[in-house]
């Protein structure tokens, strides 16, 4: 099954129906109110990711009802796409700062992280995904209880479904799989968790990896990072099982690299968001290239770069901006690894996904 095939029955992609899943979030108001009381707080900052911003005013109302009248509740209006993206301006100016929707990239007393787990049932779509995984009955040659006779499968998911991770593992185990999981590196909070920029939790000894979660960009990055593995996507939000197919994505990246090969003037973007800064990487490029100019910015958008007279850009910030939004920029936008290829420091076949490690 590839992402390019016609949609199958029950597939909710492009129908709008996927948005109708009933989502009830636990905003953990008790924990927030407790922190307000403990710190005798007068200013509370709330930061929501883009998809949940519309819930902000209602949550602010609920908090205002529970705290003393002199407490001011502020909503961050800054864009937010990940745990790397804390509103540090608001954080410094509030006694209690709450970041909703992501798990901590780095634990700190300054931030209350409220993860907001999805309540979508993942098991019906996992059942369907079994068709794309090795059949444990075929693999069993002796005693089925012997772990080494079970087909190995890696299991990963996003922070949104992390609350069901142990159940998912047990579910696969009961069906005869040797389930391989690991925590990854410092940038990841949980065992089995992946980010759009980090797939270290899939560095496991298994030819198949089951990704349970919505969207195709995480598993695409995963498949790019682990080209030797079959990445099966069980998407409970759109009710569809697919296999990550990197071909189209690779073509897009090769095209950008080719376009940038004649570039003379380079804009090197250093992102000032707290968890997206890769100063050394940006500095290395500058040290090596007299025609490279360092551009610092928080939000990296086509509009903000349009007035820079560059032939190409290299983005040391969030890799997803480069790969997902790349075609929208007026000049080629490359990852640091792609830049090395475009300027001839590395061969084209070394093109790989840009992953991000460490925190801040």
| Chain residues that interact with ligand SF4, rule: CB under 6 A | 81-82, 84-85, 195-197, 275-276, 318, 320, 356
* Residue (136 or 275) nearer to ligand SF4, CB: 275
Pick 196 or 336: Cβ nearer ligand SF4: 196
CB of 253 to ligand SF4, least distance (A): 16
Shortest Cβ 69–ligand SF4 spacing (Å): 36
Q: How far apart are CA 3 and CA 184, in angstroms?
A: 27
Q: Give the separation between CA 205 and CA 238, rounded to whole angstroms.
A: 29
Asked whether 207 and 185 are in contact (CB, 8 A), the reply is: no
- Asked whether 81 and 168 are in contact (CB, 8 A), the reply is no
- Residue placing its CB nearer to ligand SF4 in the complex, 118 or 335: 335
H/E/C letters for each residue in 268-331?
A: EEEECCCCCCCHHHHHHHHHHCCCEEEEEECCCCHHHHCCCCCCEEEECCCHHHHHHHHHHCCC
Residue (194 or 292) nearer to ligand SF4, CB: 194
Report in angstroms how near the CB of residue 91 gets to ligand SF4 at its nearest.
Answer: 16
Q: What is the nearest approach in angstroms of ligand SF4 to the Cβ of residue 359?
A: 10
CA gap 126, 240 in Å, rounded: 10
8 A C-beta contact, residue 266 and residue 304 = no
Q: Which of 159, 127, 120, 115 is nearest to 17 (CA)?
A: 120
Q: Is 215 left (phi over 0), alpha (psi -120 to 50) or beta?
A: left
Alpha carbons 66 and 101: distance in angstroms, whole number: 21
The structure tokens 């682990």 sit at: 226
Interior/surface letters 145-159, b for 16+ CB within 10 angstroms, e for the rest: eeeeebbbbbbbbbb
Based on CB atoms, which residue is closest to ligand SF4, 195 or 237? 195
We find the least distance from the C-beta atom of residue 43 to ligand SF4, in angstroms, to be 26
The smaller minimum CB distance to ligand SF4, of residues 168 and 271, is found at 271
CB of 130 to ligand SF4, least distance (A): 29
Of 196 and 267, the one with the shorter C-beta distance to ligand SF4 is 196
Smallest distance from ligand SF4 to CB 271, Å? 8
Query: Closest CB to ligand SF4 among 45 and 319?
Result: 319
Q: Which two tokens stand for residue 88?
A: 């540090």
| Shortest distance, position 299 Cβ to ligand SF4, whole Å | 11
β pairing state of 266-271 and 312-315: parallel
What does residue 126 show for φ and ψ, rounded to 5 degrees?
-65, -35
């Amino acid at each position: 099954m590839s992402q390019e095939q016609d949609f199958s029955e029950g597939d909710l992609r492009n129908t709008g129906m996927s948005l109708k899943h009933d989502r009830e979030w636990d905003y953990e108001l008790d924990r927030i109110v407790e922190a307000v009381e403990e710190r005798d707080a007068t200013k509370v900052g709330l930061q929501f990711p883009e998809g949940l911003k519309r819930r902000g005013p209602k949550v602010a109302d609920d908090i205002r009802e529970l705290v003393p009248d002199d407490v001011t509740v502020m909503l961050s209006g800054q864009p937010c796409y990940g745990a790397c993206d804390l509103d540090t301006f608001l954080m410094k100016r509030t006694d209690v700062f709450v970041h909703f929707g992501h798990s901590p990239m780095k634990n700190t007393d300054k931030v209350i992280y409220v993860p907001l787990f999805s309540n979508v049932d993942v098991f019906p779509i996992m059942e369907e995904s079994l068709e794309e995984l090795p059949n444990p009955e075929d693999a069993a040659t002796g005693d089925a209880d012997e772990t080494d006779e079970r087909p190995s499968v890696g299991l990963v998911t996003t922070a949104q479904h992390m609350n069901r991770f142990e159940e998912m593992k047990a579910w696969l185990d009961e069906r005869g799989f040797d389930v391989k999981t690991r925590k990854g590196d410092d940038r990841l909070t949980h065992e089995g968790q992946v980010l759009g920029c980090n797939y270290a939790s899939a560095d496991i000894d298994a030819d198949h990896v089951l990704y349970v979660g919505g969207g195709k960009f995480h598993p695409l990055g995963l498949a790019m990072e682990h080209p030797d593995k079959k990445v099966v996507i069980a998407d409970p939000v759109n009710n569809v099982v697919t296999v990550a197919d990197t071909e189209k994505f690779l073509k897009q990246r090769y095209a950008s690299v080719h376009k940038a090969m004649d570039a003379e003037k380079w804009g090197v973007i250093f992102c000032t968001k707290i968890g997206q800064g890769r100063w050394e990487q940006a500095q290395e490029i500058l040290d090596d290239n007299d025609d490279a100019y360092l551009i610092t910015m928080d939000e990296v958008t086509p509009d903000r770069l349009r007035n820079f007279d560059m032939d190409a850009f290299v983005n040391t910030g969030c890799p997803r901006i480069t790969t997902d939004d790349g075609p929208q920029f007026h000049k080629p936008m490359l990852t640091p690894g792609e830049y090395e290829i475009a300027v001839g420091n590395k061969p084209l076949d070394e093109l790989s996904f840009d992953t991000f490690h460490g925190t801040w």
